[in-house]
Amino acid sequence: MYRSRWSRASSRVRRWQVVAVGAVAVVAAGVGIGVASAGETVPTVNCPQVKINVAVPAQQQADVQRNLQLLNTQIAEANNRLKSTVGQGGQNFIQNAILGPLKDKRISTIERIEIAIGRNAPRPNLNAATLAPCTLNTGGGASAQQPTSMPAATRTATAKPTTAPVTKAPATAPATTAPAATATVTAPATKAPTGTPVAVNGQLSVCGTKLCNQSGTAIQLRGMSSHGLQFFPNCVNAGSLDAIRNDWNADFIRLSMYVQEGGLETDPTGFTNKVNGLVDTATKLGLYVIVDFHILTPGDPNFNLGLAKTFFANVTAKHAGNNNVIYEVANEPNGVSWTAIKSYADQVIPVIRKNSPNSVVLVGTRGFSSLGLTDGATEQEIIDDPVTFKNVMYTFHFYAASHGADRRAAVARAAKSLPLFVSEFGTQTFTGDGANDFAGTTAWLDLLKSLKISYGMWSLSDGRESNSAFKQGTCSGTTFKGTGVLTESGRYIRSRILTGVGSPN
Ligand code: IDC
């Protein structure tokens, strides 16, 4: 089932590797290797401008703008590279080492703009193939800049102001600074309002194969996963969280913080601050909150190890006094062995535990968090070589129209030996789109209920895909309660959480 995802992913891994090589070289420029001597004419790059000729939906403007700015950053980096490598390499050096990688980066960026617009409007064709290649201004001079303004959809006029994302890093300390010492970070946590999930259950722990509340009783948490925070910046806020808490009776929100695809790596400070702010918003409502380090492509979590350590150090320092934060260290590892995933978890968990010693940690499993099933493995490899820290659970993800009875049988079997948490599932195929399979979803959720396995549905967003729980345009407004703002999948999950019986009506 995951074949096509996987082949797509592997080609993107290669692209990211190219980007990484480029980035290393740019860093080297900073230490002055091969800087052009005075009087030498250094060429600059000459890139076509990307023209957005369609209206950009309000929800996606920040994302599109960030990517337009990225095109300028890429131009600047290429110019620096041209300067620092004068005289290096043979005839094809500039093409192979500078213009080629620049083209790859531009293709990804232009495609991301298309995808972003396509979330809430027809996906435009911005001619990435034609616009990506840049030529050389052999006589030097300034490179043409990429304009970053865009035609806005008319609905913007009434849209509520965007709370995020920040397009420029704020002046506060960058996320790369070392975390504060434990002693200075024990700010008292906000007290959860009476009767809320956190007030009732308090600090969670893992007891045997189950999730337990502060009294040691096994419980099941039901909640929602956000979509990528960078893709739908207006969908997770005090209003929508109040709706899932007080109108749906949900127990948690999962904050899906993508690392790639325009996520954390493009603005570590901005995304770290955004997550910290949303944890506070959820805390005030008495919700549990899962901080999801949403890796997907590349699928080896070790690729992002450094970013993960810095990110979790910061978030746990800010929320050391909280009893409601669950840390998910890697969304869906793919194309890697369990051994590699475990090695990553062994390095990240101590960073989390330094500030937040009692928190429950979720570890993604092999094959897109399929317990290895997608790769033809089974849960046995985890049972044979488990993560040895306390209060750890393993994630399992399903998409009801793709994953049926055989996977349910495997989960029932695995749950006898391993603490499982379904931090993400969908009512459709694993593409997150297409027809909803509510019969399959109900079979899954009934099984999870009987096993007391917690679950969160993908996703609290208002896009075109069938996974979006909100109708398009909802997140630009201020009404999130009731069924009027919900799609079929949204109505199904609200009803399931609220009444125990799922219904799309
Ligand atoms: C999908 C989104 C889609 C986005 C894609 C890549 O719905 O808009 O373009 O990711 O970023 C997962 C992943 C989750 C996927 C989801 C549906 O954790 O990121 O979201 N899915 O494909 N695993 C299985 C399915």
CATH number at residue 391: 3.20.20.80
Last residue of a domain, one of 103, 119, 143: 143
Question: Is position 255 within any domain?
Answer: yes
Q: Which of 60, 230, 235, 296 to mutate to test the pocket of ligand 1 (most atoms within 8 A of CB)?
A: 296
Residue 58 and residue 150: Cα distance in Å, rounded?
11
Alpha-helix runs per DSSP H in 220-292: 238-242, 268-284
**pLDDT for 181:** 34
- Using the mean position of ligand 1's atoms as its centre, give its distance from the Cα of residue 347 in Å: 26
**pLDDT for 249:** 98
Question: Is position 137 within any domain?
Answer: yes
Question: Is position 174 within any domain?
Answer: no
Query: 484 and 407 share a domain?
Result: yes
CA distances to 40, 205, 504 from 490, in Å:
62, 29, 8
Return the amino acid letter for 179. P
Total of domains in the chain: 2
Please answer whether residues 264 and 257 qualify as being in contact, where contact means their C-beta atoms are separated by less than 8 angstroms: yes
Confidence of residue 168 (pLDDT cuts 50, 70, 90): very low
Q: Which of 328, 329, 424, 462 to mutate to test the pocket of ligand 1 (most atoms within 8 A of CB)?
A: 424
- Using the mean position of ligand 1's atoms as its centre, give its distance from the Cα of residue 455 in Å: 17
Query: 278 and 341 share a domain?
Result: yes
- Using the mean position of ligand 1's atoms as its centre, give its distance from the Cα of residue 40 in Å: 49
What atom of ligand 1 comes closest to residue 115's alpha carbon?
9
Query: 112 and 249 share a domain?
Result: no
What atom of ligand 1 comes closest to residue 467's alpha carbon?
7
Q: In whole numbers, what is the pLDDT of the chain averaged over residues?
A: 87
Query: 211 and 138 share a domain?
Result: no
- Using the mean position of ligand 1's atoms as its centre, give its distance from the Cα of residue 426 in Å: 10
- Using the mean position of ligand 1's atoms as its centre, give its distance from the Cα of residue 431 in Å: 6
Query: 225 and 123 share a domain?
Result: no
Question: Is position 464 within any domain?
Answer: yes
Query: 320 and 204 share a domain?
Result: yes
What atom of ligand 1 comes closest to residue 369's alpha carbon?
23
Last residue of a domain, one of 127, 143, 159: 143
**pLDDT for 188:** 55
User: Strand 325-328 vs strand 288-294: parallel, antiparallel, or unpaired?
Assistant: parallel
**DSSP per residue, 275-296:** HHHHHHHHHHTT-EEEEEEE--
Q: Residue 45 sits in which domain range?
A: 29-143
Asked if residue 177 has pLDDT above 60, the reply is: no
Last residue of a domain, one of 143, 161, 182: 143
Q: Which of 114, 261, 381, 424 does the annotation list as catalytic? A: 424
* pTM for the model: 0.72
Question: Is position 253 within any domain?
Answer: yes
Residue nearest to atom 25 of ligand 1 (CA): 430
Query: 376 and 483 share a domain?
Result: yes
**pLDDT for 172:** 33
Residue 230 and residue 347: Cα distance in Å, rounded?
26
Question: Is position 252 within any domain?
Answer: yes
Query: 332 and 462 share a domain?
Result: yes
Q: What is the mean pLDDT of residues 142-164?
A: 64
Q: Which of 332, 379, 381, 465 does the annotation list as catalytic? A: 332
Query: 284 and 136 share a domain?
Result: no
Query: 380 and 482 share a domain?
Result: yes
> 253 in helix, strand or coil?
strand
Please answer whether residues 483 and 462 qualify as being in contact, where contact means their C-beta atoms are separated by less than 8 angstroms: no
Question: Is position 47 within any domain?
Answer: yes
Query: 72 and 215 share a domain?
Result: no
Among the residue ranges 74-88, 197-211, 398-412, 435-449, the one predicted with the least confidence is 74-88
User: Is 424 a known active-site residue?
Assistant: yes
**pLDDT for 488:** 98
Among the residue ranges 19-28, 94-103, 233-242, the one predicted with the least confidence is 19-28
Closest Cα to residue 268, out of 257, 282, 256, 284?
257
- Using the mean position of ligand 1's atoms as its centre, give its distance from the Cα of residue 349 in Å: 25
Confidence of residue 286 (pLDDT cuts 50, 70, 90): very high
Pocket of ligand 1 from Cβ distances under 6 Å? 115, 261, 296, 331-332, 368, 397, 399, 424, 430-432, 458, 465, 467
Question: Is position 157 within any domain?
Answer: no
What atom of ligand 1 comes closest to residue 458's alpha carbon?
16
Query: 230 and 320 share a domain?
Result: yes
Residue nearest to atom 12 of ligand 1 (CA): 430
